[in-house]
Amino acid sequence: MPADGGIGAPTKRREDVRFLKGTGRYTDDLNRPGQAYVFFLRSNVAHGRLKSVDTSAAAAMPGVVRVFTGADFEGVGGIPCGWQITDKHGEVMQEPAHPVLAQGKVRHVGDPIAAVVADSLEAARDAAEAIEADIEELPAVVDMKAALQDGSPKVHDDLTSNLCYDWGFVEENKAAVDEAFANAAHVTTLELVNNRLIANPMEPRVAIGDFDQAGGNSTLYTTSQNPHVIRLLMGAFVLGIPEHKLRVVAPDVGGGFGSKIFHYAEEAFCTFAAKALNRPVKWTASRSEAFMSDAHGRDHVTTIELALDGDNNFTALRTETHANMGAYLSTFAPSVPTWLHGTLMAGNYKTPLIYVNVKAVFTNTVPVDAYRGAGRPEASYQLERVVDKAARELGVDPIALRRQNFVTEFPYATPVAVEYDTGDYVATMDKLEEMIDISGFEARLAESKKRGKLRGLGVNCYIEACGIAPSNLVGQLGARAGLYESATVRVNATGGIVVMTGSHSHGQGHETSFPQVVAEMIGIDASMVEIEHGDTANAPMGMGTYGSRSIAVGGSAMVRATEKIIAKAKKIAAHLLEASEADIELKDGQFSVAGTDKSVAWGDVTLAAYVPHNYPLEEVEPGLEETAFYDPNNFTFPSGAYACEVEVDPETGKVTIESFAAADDFGNVINPMIVDGQVHGGIAQGIGQALLEACVYDEDGQLLTGSYMDYAMPRADDLPFYAVDHSCQTPCTHNPLGVKGCGEAGAIGSPPAVVNAVVDALQRAGKTNVTHIDMPLSPSRVWAAMNQ
C-alpha cells in the first residue's frame, strides 16, 4: 500500500484543510468584473392568474439595468424534465411547460414573476418593490387526494387533470397479487405519510452568468452536483447554446443532498441575461428563497398491504402511493416514486408477488424531486414499518420474522425487475445483534422505568440500489440521458497525476478517496495524485454525483483509464529495459523485468513519455493521458441492518435517541473513515426526518415552515453517538473495485428504526392501540397518539 494511504486506508480528508480554514472557493466567492446582480420577484400566492406585470416604474429606478418578465422568454425553451414515465395504460405522463419566468399563471409561493438586474443587490430589491404585478388569486390545491377529485382547481389549465401519471408495476402481476391476498392467512395493512422535507444544504444556491462577446461564449458558474448535465439541459433545451459555446463550472459546493442535481430557472436566467446585457449577472439565494425555490423531497402518502401464509412467509405485497410532484416537473421528479421506489419494494425479502401503484400529482407547491435516498427511503420505510406491524399482530419476534423471509441466495431476481448481484442479510443482522446487546434490553427498560420513562427498541433492514445506473436499462425506463461516468487520467512528465472526473464532490471526499485508488494501482504516493472536477472545460462529459454513484461508476471509469495508462507505461518501460512487454511487472511504482533485477521507476517512464529521445515512436505515441467511460451493467445493492433504542417521556411525548447502531454491507471500502462519516451524516438526516423535519403548507398553499423558526433541523444534541460497522462485505460482482456506494444508506435505514422503536416503547407501556405515528415524531404528535 502507498505510504500515505491506498485502498482501505482511513486517510484524513485533504480537502478539509481548506474547508475548515475558510479558504474553500464557493460560487458566491466568485465575482466577475463589472457584474450586475439579479433579484427575483417571487409570487406570494400559491395560485393566481398573472393579469399584468408593469415594470416601468422599476425600470426607471436608480441603478437598474433591466427588468425581465415572462414575456422576455417567449420563444425560449422551458425548464426540461429528464425522465418520461409511461403509465399503466401505456400513456406517457402529462408534462406541463415550465417557463423560466412565470407566464400566464403563478403556481406556487416562490414562483418567479420578474427579475430585476441592477448594479447592486439593494438597488435590484428596491426596484422589485416598484413592480406592479396584478395577480387574480385562484383557489389553490395542496392536498394530493383533493387534487385528483373532480372540480379541483387545476394547476395547469392545458392538462386534462392534476394527475401526472398513474403507474402500475408490474401491471401484468396485478391479478396474481390480488389472488395471493385473497388466499392469505394474514394481511397487515398500514397507511403512512413520508413527510415532505427541504434539503437545506449549508450553502444556498448561487448562479453567475458570464458572456464573452469577443468569442461568443457563455459561462455559467453554479452550485451544481453535475455541471455537464446542466450544460446539456440548459444548452440544448432552454437557451439553444451548443455545448462547445457553453462552459459550466461548479467549484466547491457546500452540500447538495440531491437538491443541486436539478437544472433550475435561475441558472438559465443568469446565462440568458448575461448574454442579453453583455454583462455578468450574479444571483445568490437567501435562505428564505432556498426554502421556497429549492426542490423539496419525499412527500408520499401510501397504503401498504403485506400478505402472509400460515407459516408467516410473505406471499405478496401491494401498495398504493400518491406522490407529490409540486407545481412543475423537476429534472428527475418522475423517476423518484417509480423506478427508484417501485423497484426496491422487495427489500431484503423473497416476497414472490409485488404490485406497486403510484399516482403522481400536481399541486400548488414547490416542485419535489430527489433528496438523499430518493425513492428508496420511501420504499424501505413502508416495508419495514409494515413488517414490524405484521410481527406484532402475529405475536412473533420482528427480527425472526425478517430472518425467515430474507433472500439468501444470490444472484436474486426480484419480482420488481431488478437483480441483486450479491449480499448477505443474515450476516449484517448477526453483526447488528452483536452490536446492540438485545439481552440487556430488559434491564435498560427497567432502569428507564425507574426514571419515569418509556423505552423501546426498533430494528429494521434496508436494501438500496446505487451506482446509478446502466444506461441501456434506464433508457428503457424513461431516462432521457445515459448514466455512465467518465475519467481522464493525465500523467505529467515528472510522474504526478491529475484525474479529471465527471463525478462531482460536494462534501463526499473524492479528492481524498479517488487518489487512494490510483496510487494503489500504480504503487505511488497518493499525494502524487490530484482530482479535478466541476468544470466542463476540463473534465470529459460526465453525469455527476447522486444516487451514491461516485466510486461505483466514476471510480470504475477512473480504474479503466488508469489501466490504460499502466498498459501504455509498460510498453514504454519494455522499450527502456530492452525487454518484452509481456515480461514487465509493475510493483510499488517500479517497472521490472520478471525474473531479473532490471527495473525502471515510474518517474523515468513518465519522463520518457514526454521527452521521447529514446522512445519507440513507431509503436507508441508520446504522452501519457487516457480517458475512459464506464457504463455499469447493473445497479449495486448495498444493504444493512439498523437498530435504534429510544426513551419516551410519557408526560410530554418527547423522544430521546439513546443508542443507534448500523451494520452495513457496502462491499469493498476505499476509505473507511469517509464511509463512517457518510453513514453518520445519513443517519443524522434520517433521524431529522423521523423526529424533527417537516415542510408544511396551509390549505391556501402558504409555506408555514419558511424559516428555521419553524422548520426543525437536527442539531448535535438531538443525536447520539452512533455505532457504525461495515465489516460485512460482499463485494459487488460487476464493477472493478467491488464497491457499492454508501452515501444514502444512513438516510434510508434510519427512519424506520426510529419509528419502530417509538411504537415499541408505547406498546410496551400498554398503549396497544398505537400501531403507527406519522413522521416527524414530534413531542406533540407522540403525546397525541398516547392520549387518543
The binding site for other proteins (CB under 8 A) comprises 122, 125, 129, 288, 651-652, 654, 692, 694, 696, 704-705, 708-713, 778-780, 783-784
Burial of 740 (0-12, 13-18, 19+ CB in 10 A): buried
Q: Which of 7, 2, 10 is nearest to 587 (CA)?
A: 2
Q: Give 561-580 as a 3 state SS string.
A: HHHHHHHHHHHHHHHHCCCC
Q: For residue 284, what is the enclosing H or E element?
A: strand 281-284
- Measured from the CB of residue 301, what is the shortest distance to other proteins in angstroms? 18
By the 10 Å C-beta count (0-12 exposed, 13-18 middle, 19+ buried), 97 is classed as middle
Q: Which residue has the cell 399482530?
A: 393
DSSP 3-state of 31: coil
State which amino acid sits at residue 180. Answer: A
Give the shortest CB-646-to-other proteins separation in angstroms: 15
Closer by beta carbon to other proteins, 103 or else 705: 705
We find the least distance from the C-beta atom of residue 717 to other proteins, in angstroms, to be 10
Return the number of the residue (289 or 384) whose C-beta is nearest other proteins: 289
Closer to other proteins by CB, 128 or 241: give it. Answer: 128
Cell triple for residue 256? 447538495
Let me know: does 222 contact 248? Beta carbons within 8 Å.
Answer: yes
Q: Residue 336 or residue 786: which is nearer to other proteins going by CB?
A: 786
Nearest to other proteins of 213, 787 (CB atom): 787
**Cell (9 digits) for 180:** 395471493
Give the amino acid at 619: E
Q: Could you tell me which residues come within 8 angstroms of residue 457 by beta carbon, excluding any fewer than 6 positions away? A: 436, 438, 441, 643, 644, 645, 757, 760
Q: How far is the CB of 653 from other proteins (least distance, A)?
A: 8
Q: Least Å distance between CB 692 and other proteins?
A: 6
Smaller CB separation from other proteins, 434 or 651: 651
Q: Which is nearer to other proteins, 290 or 669 (CB)?
A: 290
In the complex, least distance from residue 710 CB atom to other proteins, rounded to whole angstroms: 5
Nearest Cα neighbor of 360 from 317, 327, 384 is 327
| Beta-strand relationship, 655-665 and 639-648 | antiparallel
Side chain identity at 301, as an amino acid letter?
V
State the Cα–Cα distance between residues 28 and 441, nearest whole angstrom: 50
> In whole angstroms, how close is the CB of 48 to other proteins at the nearest point?
22
Q: CB-based contacts of 557: which residues, under 8 Å, 6+ apart?
A: 484, 485, 486, 487, 501, 502, 542, 628, 629, 630
Distance CA 289, CA 294 (A): 8
Q: What is the DSSP string of 638-659?
A: -EEEEEEEEEE-TTT--EEEEE
- Cβ distance to other proteins smaller for residue 20 or 704: 704
Measured from the CB atom, the residue of 433 and 718 that comes closer to other proteins is 718
Residue among 726, 642, 635, 712 nearest 677 (CA): 726
Angle at CA of residue 16, ends 15 and 20, nearest 5°: 135
Give the integer Cα–Cα distance in Å for 95 and 107: 15
We find the least distance from the C-beta atom of residue 758 to other proteins, in angstroms, to be 15
Helical ranges in 236-299 per DSSP H: 265-277, 287-293
Peptide bond between residue 469 and the one before it cis (omega within 30 degrees of 0):
yes
Nearer to other proteins, 232 or 777 (CB): 777
Which of 288/590 has CB closer to other proteins? Answer: 288
CA–CA distances in Å: residue 178 to residues 174, 187, 322, 568: 6, 12, 20, 59
Minimum distance of other proteins from residue 452's CB (angstroms)? 11
| Rounded least distance, CB 782 to other proteins, Å | 10
Q: How far is the CB of 38 from other proteins (least distance, A)?
A: 17
Which of residues 344 and 687 has its CB atom nearest to other proteins in the complex? 687
Distance CA 37, CA 66 (A): 11
Comparing CB distances to other proteins, the nearer of 52 and 787 is 787
Q: Which three cell numbers stand for residue 727?
A: 465489516
* 461: number of Cβ within 10 Å: 27
Triad 117, 120, 124: Cα angle to 5°:
45
List CB contacts of 407: < 8 A, sequence separation 6 or more: 346, 348, 349, 350, 420, 423, 425
Report the distance separating Cα 638 and Cα 744, nearest Å.
10
Residues 6+ apart with CB under 8 A from 689: 195, 197, 298, 377, 747, 751, 775, 776
Count of other CB atoms within 10 angstroms of residue 176:
15
End-to-end alpha carbon distance in the chain: 61
**Shortest distance (Å) from residue 125 CB to other proteins:** 7
Q: Which residue has the cell 438485545?
A: 438
CB 166 within 8 A of CB 89: yes
Q: Please, which residue, 313 or 705, has the CB nearer to other proteins? A: 705
* Residue pointed to by grid coordinates 509503436: 619
CB nearer other proteins, residue 51 or residue 287: 287
The candidate with the shortest Cα–Cα distance to 169, out of 10, 14, 359, is: 359
Shortest CB 222 distance to other proteins, Å: 25
Whichever of 278 and 780 has its CB closer to other proteins, that residue is 780
C-beta of 476 vs 707, nearer to other proteins? 707
Retrieve residue 343's grid coordinates.
423497484
- Which one, 39 or 349, has the nearer CB to other proteins? 39
